[in-house]
Structure 1
């Protein structure tokens, strides 16, 4: 086609950041080799990474090439037709392009040099091909596995991705828990993050112990929840914090939750659940509602006192909160909602958008499906805003409840594990770009194989995940 100019630019990149990224990549590759010394691909990639590191350390400046297409025509319709043709051709060989919103001075100068009539300049439609589309999203960070077709290593770039939350969806027995632990363990060991894992079945502590991965086991029954002693700048924030924990844990309706908020907001002296119960009885009288609240406050009184809280026991590395001895779903939700609220609202540590804490929720349906007031959904929508990364797993899309679209549209890393049910994949198609050929392949994914969609990446990947163990 004669009406297309191709421009290749050499662009220098930040040396310090690139060095840090290379060092992280080398660490990840070394972990892969330690687990599988016969992995020749990882060995060669590690050798190449070390070679690049040595060249940069010797004084060479890192750079990259970017390629741009300038598409010209007599009118917008002709330009659009040519642009669509180019995009389809490039998509056929696995290259995605994006349109540049505005022409900077470089492109305006280039356009004037190639177009005879100045009036044609407004009709120039530039498209750029990111020089390393996959590398931008999946070549740095936490190693996840290998792309099934190409064998290319795939990483989760949690440091730079706009939304650092993960949701894994798939039936029982196909590797959800293993994948969660694989990501969490690498974040704890390599990046020295505070990892909080809720163990509801006992399999998490067992697997960590069997594979000699260090962790701190926390028995929530011997530490306080620390709800009432949590510090807040205003009584309104304190009331909202307690209202949300109780509504999501005990599935309160709007009237019941609002009553909790009103009583706490108007009675700042309340420092025990017994005091709160007495005020509610004075407010509503002796009736079914006061009896219902008495039951809730009696449970809270046994779990929330002046001792050291579960949150205050968290340390750097992997912390496993053991919920296996708790048979009540209410109390499990209470512990999860309380510690998550404390990380979210009271003690956030956000430095330059850095992720400081990672919360791992296996069997996440226990808290997602019946969320009465926004907590997890709010964290997911705000992306990196709280310095928290959520890693969640559940069995079905229906487990996500009314907020399903919020989770599926906004999580930075969405993983569908193998499921032979075509209805499942048809539903997944809403959140990942899949054609009929892709759907047919997905029916035959094996155990430990997954469809991975990364936010802002237009094409999902089929990945053989790294089980770590």
Structure 2
């Protein structure tokens, strides 16, 4: 990311107002405002400026509001994503707790239901052949397809009172091809993080599924950052509208807000209500942009954070008119955000936008990955056939070896018997020689006696 990055926001007191992330205590920006206040349009304007500055960005798009800015349009519903994937250096047991927490928060499950999910994930890992759930994945873990997880959940004893309600709440998970076709994860972050990438989430059936997909992708990003290592320069922005869907204790978003800065990543979040964010999160944001809030509770909350009377937020009626507080300054500034449509580059971008062209890279990557996967599967199948042939040959060799061993035994036995017979023949021959000598002596004696008798 350009160290001198300066994002034009709009006009304050008749002068241009820019956001300079490097000048703030961190690169994170949070914007809040009610429906129609200009919050989403502000995000679009910022996206346009980041695109102009050639800053890599990853946008989780719940309503297809941002695809026009995409260099890489990620139609993620065409891919596969294994919710229980254990990435390199992750421990299966850690993933078990993280994913069960995600599912519990997204679907508003109780503690017992979360425990059922957690235990089912453990069973899934064990049935996948993982012997030690506390051992980091060194690249050797291979999981069963996610569809088997459904079977494990369905096989949970129905006597457990939490099971029927749990199945009713999470059954939509098992209707999503992104998950159910996953025998692995076809999405690599190298494929997703390319210039300005927009991940389309609109096509998924429910808000819960959209939020879970987003959570899982951010979990992948966090692990990717851990492996990539720390960075002094900001090289990526993650942008999330409707961030309230993903804010809960220990969520990937919360973790990114705390740790992503040291990995060179900035976070831009937007939500309708400021109370969707904790006071700690708002207090630690490098920049806050706040628009009209009609609810007294929300106006009071903003008043405390930006040190402005609550009535100021309630009186904001013009779309895009709000207050901006930079951590590098003591006071918030009133600003009229310049609409994205009033920025000269927008018309050219809108005119040249071609959805098929912008999604071409991702779709080609999916085809390439599928081709490699098919090739791998073919090799696996070929290897299995070779293994069968090898086993058959080994069996034949074993039979031949057995026959040879039997023949060798008989030959050795015959040799032993032959040697024994030869010894016997030699013995008998020796005895026969002695007998012959005795007979010859006897004949000599007889001959001598006969001679005496004749005399």
TM-score, normalization: structure 2?
0.60
User: Matched residues in 2 for 1:380 and 1:262: separation?
Assistant: 30
Greater CA radius of gyration, 1 or 2? 2
The 3 A distance-change label for structure 1 pair 357 and 305 is farther
Query: Structure 1 or 2: larger helix share?
Result: 2
User: Matched residues in 2 for 1:283 and 1:419: separation?
Assistant: 46
- Which of the residues 208, 233, 240 maps onto 1:361? 240
Match of 2:50 in 1: 187
Find runs of 4+ consecutive structure 1 residues off by over 4 angstroms: 277-288, 419-424, 439-442
User: Matched residues in 2 for 1:423 and 1:238: separation?
Assistant: 37
Kindly indicate whether the alpha-carbon contact (under 8 Å) linking 1:235 and 1:268 is maintained by their aligned counterparts in 2.
no
Kindly indicate whether the alpha-carbon contact (under 8 Å) linking 2:32 and 2:289 is maintained by their aligned counterparts in 1.
yes
Kindly indicate whether the alpha-carbon contact (under 8 Å) linking 1:274 and 1:297 is maintained by their aligned counterparts in 2.
no
Superposed, which structure 2 residues align to 1:114-153 within 5 Å? 141-147=6-12, 149=13, 151-153=14-16
- Per-residue Cα deviation, 1:224-264 (whole angstroms, up to 9, x for no partner): 12433341422233323422332333333333334444454
- Which of the residues 103, 109, 129 maps onto 1:246? 103
Superposed, which structure 2 residues align to 1:366-377 within 5 Å? 366-368=245-247, 371=248, 373-377=250-254
Match of 1:413 in 2: 287
Superposed, which structure 2 residues align to 1:383-462 within 5 Å? 384-398=261-275, 400=276, 403-419=277-293, 424-434=298-308, 439=311, 443-444=315-316, 446-455=318-327, 457-462=329-334
- Per-residue Cα deviation, 1:130-175 (whole angstroms, up to 9, x for no partner): xxxxxxxxxx62222232x2x3332222235333222211122232
User: Matched residues in 1 for 2:157 and 2:285: separation?
Assistant: 42
Query: Structure 1 or 2: larger strand share?
Result: 1
Q: Give the number of equivalent residue pairs.
A: 318
The 3 A distance-change label for structure 1 pair 185 and 350 is farther
Superposed, which structure 2 residues align to 1:64-79 within 5 Å? none
- Per-residue Cα deviation, 1:61-113 (whole angstroms, up to 9, x for no partner): xxxxxxxxxxxxxxxxxxxxxxxxxxxxxxxxxxxxxxxxxxxxxxxxxxxxx
The 3 A distance-change label for structure 1 pair 238 and 426 is closer
Match of 1:201 in 2: 63
Match of 2:200 in 1: 322
Q: Secondary structure of the equivalent of 1:227?
A: coil
User: Matched residues in 2 for 1:216 and 1:153: separation?
Assistant: 30
Match of 1:31 in 2: none
Match of 1:10 in 2: none
The 3 A distance-change label for structure 1 pair 448 and 255 is same
Match of 1:178 in 2: 41
Q: Secondary structure of the equivalent of 1:309?
A: coil
Q: Secondary structure of the equivalent of 2:257?
A: helix
Kindly indicate whether the alpha-carbon contact (under 8 Å) linking 1:422 and 1:443 is maintained by their aligned counterparts in 2.
no
User: Matched residues in 2 for 1:299 and 1:466: separation?
Assistant: 42
Q: Secondary structure of the equivalent of 1:384?
A: helix
Which runs of 5 or more residues in structure 2 are unaligned?
129-142, 342-455
- Which of the residues 174, 187, 197 maps onto 1:298? 174
User: Matched residues in 2 for 1:221 and 1:247: separation?
Assistant: 22
The 3 A distance-change label for structure 1 pair 422 and 276 is closer
> Whose RCO is larger (CA < 8 A, sep 6+)?
2
User: Matched residues in 2 for 1:255 and 1:180: separation?
Assistant: 39
The 3 A distance-change label for structure 1 pair 222 and 429 is same
Match of 2:72 in 1: 216
RMSD between aligned residues: 3.3
Q: How many angstroms does 1:288 deviate by?
A: 5.2
Match of 2:32 in 1: 169
- Which of the residues 315, 329, 338 maps onto 2:216? 338
